């Protein structure tokens, strides 16, 4: 157990060093807010999809279509249960603030934080299962999450387009049939896809670092509700999910990957949705910043518990 904690802590610490680069780049104006937004778009629309397609081109032993679909189902169930259980929280708060706080509890930063850690722990197998989790994440984000923060009055056709045509779902829809039919892309296509995909981890961590740099220490630690969100997001949600996984007993790699992504800090989408729908963007920044800082302690513990549950060192 101790060795597992140390191994995962080392991997998380490497990620935080990369965040430190982003933090310094923002403070020194090497990367501006506009630049960080452009890098976020690059990650979402180019680098992330390339990583997913390239990962689904690998010969991953023991990864079957059934296991991939089970991963989508299990991660969806975990998020839906979280959304249902958190409905009882923050009822004494102003409606918009309460919705944003609940959003932070339900939606994890499974792309920027969870996927790199899953890749570090399990290699390409982790990327395949993490990609399946991202499909579930995007489906819930652009339905439940979208309706929650928009108030349900926005264009439903646009919401449906977002569900079907977001980068994660599209890249998975491209890569999964190729994987299922054992169709290999020619090297002239696969090599650039793989090379671009390998940029995901360092660039994602640099972008997260720029978000952390936007807030002062006093702002990050000043709101007691943000501590509650971080505690639920980083500890209670993944622990309850691990109990469910112990009952279901899926493939070890599926269990570890879903647990790690379920225990990631608050999703960066909280800022994007808060700004889009007129909610408190500073509150969203606080949730992301505090949960990301605390995840250096929580994520190694959750990953180590998951590994020991399945006997993975």
Phi, psi of 137 (to 5 degrees): -60, -50
Q: What is the pLDDT of residue 19?
A: 83
**Structure token digits, residue 300:** 């190694």
Q: What is the pLDDT of residue 152?
A: 61
Q: What is the pLDDT of residue 102?
A: 95
Three-state DSSP at 268 gives: coil
Q: Which residues contact 284 (CB under 8 A, 6 or more apart)?
A: 100, 104, 266, 270, 271, 273, 274
Q: What is the pLDDT of residue 162?
A: 73
Q: What is the pLDDT of residue 236?
A: 95
Helices 2-27 and 115-122: crossing angle in degrees, nearest 10, is 140
Q: Which residues contact 47 (CB under 8 A, 6 or more apart)?
A: 196, 197, 199, 200, 203
Q: What is the pLDDT of residue 191?
A: 94
Contact 12, 296 (CB under 8 A): yes
User: What are the helix (H) ranges across 221-280?
Assistant: 224-231, 237-248, 252-262, 269-276
Helices 269-276 and 281-310: crossing angle in degrees, nearest 10, is 150
pTM to 2 decimals? 0.83
CA distances from 266 to 125, 178, 200, 240, 313 (A): 24, 32, 18, 17, 27
Q: Determine the Cα–Cα distance for residues 274 and 239; give it in Å rounded to an integer.
A: 28
Q: Determine the Cα–Cα distance for residues 107 and 220; give it in Å rounded to an integer.
A: 19
Phi, psi of 120 (to 5 degrees): -65, -35
Q: What is the pLDDT of residue 121?
A: 85
Contact 133, 72 (CB under 8 A): yes
Going residue by residue through the chain, which has 313 residues, state the pLDDT in tens, using 9 for 90 and above.
566 667 677 777 887 888 899 999 999 999 998 998 888 888 888 988 898 888 888 776 678 889 999 999 999 999 999 999 999 899 888 888 999 999 999 999 888 788 888 888 888 888 889 988 988 898 888 888 888 887 765 566 776 777 777 787 888 889 889 888 888 999 999 999 999 988 888 888 888 788 778 877 777 788 899 999 999 999 999 999 999 999 998 999 999 999 999 999 998 888 878 877 888 878 888 898 889 888 888 988 898 899 888 875 4
């Amino acid at each position: 157990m101790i060795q597992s904690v140390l191994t995962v802590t080392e991997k998380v610490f490497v990620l935080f060093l990369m965040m430190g680069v982003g933090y310094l780049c923002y403070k020194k104006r090497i990367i501006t807010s506009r630049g960080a937004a452009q890098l976020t778009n690059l990650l979402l629309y180019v680098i992330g999809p390339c990583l997913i397609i390239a990962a689904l081109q690998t010969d991953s032993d023991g990864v079957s279509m059934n296991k991939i679909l089970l991963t989508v189902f299990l991660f969806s169930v975990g998020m839906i249960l979280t959304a249902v259980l958190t409905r009882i929280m923050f009822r004494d708060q102003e409606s918009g603030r309460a919705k944003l706080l609940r959003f932070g509890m339900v939606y994890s930063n499974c792309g920027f934080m969870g996927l790199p850690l899953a890749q570090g722990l399990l290699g390409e197998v982790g990327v395949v299962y993490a990609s399946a989790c991202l499909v579930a994440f995007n489906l819930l984000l652009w339905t439940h999450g979208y309706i929650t923060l928009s108030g349900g009055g926005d264009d439903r056709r646009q919401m449906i387009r977002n569900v079907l045509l977001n980068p994660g779902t599209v890249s998975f829809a491209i890569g999964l049939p190729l994987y299922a039919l054992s169709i290999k892309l020619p090297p002239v296509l696969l090599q650039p896809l793989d090379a671009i995909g390998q940029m995901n981890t360092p660039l994602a961590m640099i972008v997260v670092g720029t978000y952390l740099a936007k807030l002062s220490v006093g702002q990050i630690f000043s709101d007691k509700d943000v501590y509650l969100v971080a505690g639920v997001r980083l500890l209670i949600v993944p622990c309850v999910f691990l109990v469910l996984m112990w009952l279901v007993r899926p493939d070890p790699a599926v269990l570890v990957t879903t647990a790690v992504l379920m225990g990631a800090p608050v999703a960066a989408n909280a800022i994007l949705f808060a700004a889009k729908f007129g909610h408190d963007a500073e509150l969203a920044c606080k949730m992301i910043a505090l949960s990301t800082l605390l995840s250096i302690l929580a994520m190694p513990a959750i990953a180590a518990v998951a590994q020991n549950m399945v006997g993975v060192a």
